[in-house]
């Protein structure tokens, strides 16, 4: 079964063609990073306008990569939540038009569940497992029993970890998006040169909660301390110590959940799953076994959307053309 996947929830316009949830024929991603870089972050109005300009071209380019034509598609999978409302609506409109034109089913996909699915495209991963989704918009921990059934164990109470990387990189004048740049600088620095506060929530509702706004503030508010040049105050040392603090909290909480729930498998996805220190730290552990997607499937892409849509379709989860976009999901209420 060939599924056309559409992703436009934030600043990547992406179209994929995926067969039976696993075989990727095309996964075209047009990033808007250069459009948003002058503003050091995603500008929602600009993002939706760029999707409008780009998405049709990305669709054509995905089909050009294959010998397939539009009528070969059996169903359309589209992200409808969460994300920037204007951006979601552009992808949703394309999805509905395609499904109506070719009279094929429309499958609504949650962007976060699609991230959770991404490592399953390349690996056969056992269930139940603990899933960690870490990106520019989300820091979430799940207990997953199947591709489509997950319960939320915990989340950040304020900033997402990727957002924190981006803001600290801005402070250090490194550029946007900050995650890959901090990752690069950190390799040249000493992770123990500064002791930053742990991004853990002081009064947690669940044992699996993070708080990244304090970590960011402690660096930005003590700027004189860090920006006074001396042998220790280098960008490399700051990046390395920050990265250690931000990432150690992710691994500590994820490993704690695996132990508490007796899970031997950890699945990590989202843009921050590209981080080399996170990957190395988890690979050093004997238990649990950690699974990551390739970097191009960690950041926003439509292959993970088309992949998950296949399993949702198998369960009969098909939408009608009245499907609407939802910008947010009420995460705190979902915590057990
Ligand atoms: O999943 P994604 O493409 O978009 C969202 O759904 O947010 O994630 C983008 C985020 C950005 O905050 C970016 O700085 C971060 O992922 N990121 C990284 C790395 N590569 C991307 N963070 C830390 N280390 C990296 N190597
Ligand atoms: Zn994402």
Among the atoms of ligand 1, which is closest to the Cα of residue 177? Answer: 14
> 135 near 160, Cβ under 8 Å?
yes
User: Ligand 1 centroid vs 161 CA: distance in angstroms?
Assistant: 9
11 lines ligand 1 (CB under 6 A): no
- Nearest ligand to the CA of 32 is 1
- Nearest ligand to the CA of 160 is 1
Q: What pLDDT, on a 0 to 100 scale, did the predictor assign at position 333?
A: 46
Size of the chain, expressed as the number of residues it contains: 336
Among the atoms of ligand 1, which is closest to the Cα of residue 169? Answer: 14
Q: What pLDDT, on a 0 to 100 scale, did the predictor assign at position 331?
A: 56
Among the atoms of ligand 1, which is closest to the Cα of residue 111? Answer: 6
Q: Please report, to the nearest 10 degrees, the dihedral formed by the alpha carbons of residues 13, 18, 22, 25 taken in order.
A: -90
118 lines ligand 1 (CB under 6 A): no
83 lines ligand 1 (CB under 6 A): no
How many whole angstroms separate alpha carbon 265 and alpha carbon 290?
Answer: 6
Beta strands 106-110; 150-155: pairing state: unpaired
Half-sphere exposure (Cβ direction) of 309: Cα atoms closer than 13 Å: 33
Per-residue pLDDT of the chain (336 residues), as tens digits, is 999 999 999 999 999 999 999 999 999 999 999 999 898 888 999 999 999 999 999 999 999 999 899 999 999 999 999 999 999 999 999 999 999 999 999 999 999 999 999 999 999 999 999 999 999 999 999 999 999 999 999 999 999 999 999 999 998 889 989 999 999 999 999 999 988 989 988 777 789 999 999 998 888 877 777 777 777 788 899 999 999 999 999 999 999 999 999 999 999 999 999 999 999 999 999 899 999 999 999 999 999 999 999 999 999 999 999 999 999 875 544 444
Q: What pLDDT, on a 0 to 100 scale, did the predictor assign at position 176?
A: 87
Q: Residue 139: which H helix or E strand, with range?
A: strand 139-144
Q: What pLDDT, on a 0 to 100 scale, did the predictor assign at position 336?
A: 40
Number of CB atoms found within 10 A of residue 202's CB? 8
User: Ligand 2 centroid vs 314 CA: distance in angstroms?
Assistant: 24
242 lines ligand 1 (CB under 6 A): no
Global pTM?
0.94
Angle at which helices 235-260 and 276-283 cross, to 10° = 40
């Amino acid at each position: 079964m060939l599924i056309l996947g559409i992703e436009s929830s934030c600043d990547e316009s992406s179209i994929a063609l995926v067969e039976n949830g696993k075989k990727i024929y095309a996964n075209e991603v047009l990033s808007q990073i250069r459009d948003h870089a002058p503003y050091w972050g995603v500008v929602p109005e600009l993002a939706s306008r760029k999707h409008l300009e780009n998405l049709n071209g990305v669709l054509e380019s995905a089909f050009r990569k294959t010998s397939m034509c539009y009528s070969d598609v059996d169903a359309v999978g589209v992200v409808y939540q969460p994300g920037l409302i204007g951006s979601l609506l552009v992808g949703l409109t394309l999805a509905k038009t395609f499904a109506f034109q070719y009279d094929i089913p429309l499958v609504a996909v949650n962007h976060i569940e699609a991230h959770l699915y991404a490592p399953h495209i390349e690996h056969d991963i056992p269930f139940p497992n603990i899933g960690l989704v870490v990106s520019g918009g989300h820091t979430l921990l799940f207990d997953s029993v199947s591709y489509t059934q997950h319960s939320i164990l915990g989340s950040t109470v304020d900033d997402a970890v990727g957002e924190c990387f981006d803001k600290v990189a801005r402070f250090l004048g490194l550029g946007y998006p900050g995650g890959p740049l901090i990752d690069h600088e950190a390799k040249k620095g000493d992770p123990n040169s500064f002791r930053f506060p742990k991004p853990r929530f002081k009064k947690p509702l669940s044992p699996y909660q993070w708080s990244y706004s304090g970590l960011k503030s402690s660096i930005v508010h003590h700027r004189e301390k860090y920006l006074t040049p001396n042998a220790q105050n280098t960008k490399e040392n700051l990046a390395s110590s920050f990265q250690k603090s931000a990432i150690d909290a992710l691994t500590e909480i994820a490993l704690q959940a695996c132990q508490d729930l007796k899970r031997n498998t950890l699945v990590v996805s989202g843009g921050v799953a590209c981080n080399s220190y996170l990957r190395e730290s988890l690979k050093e552990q004997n238990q649990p076994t950690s699974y990551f997607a390739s970097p191009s499937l960690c950041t926003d892409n439509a292959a993970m959307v088309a992949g998950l849509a296949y399993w949702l379709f198998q369960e009969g989860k098909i939408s009608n053309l009245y499907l609407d976009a939802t910008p947010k999901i009420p995460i705190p209420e979902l915590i057990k």
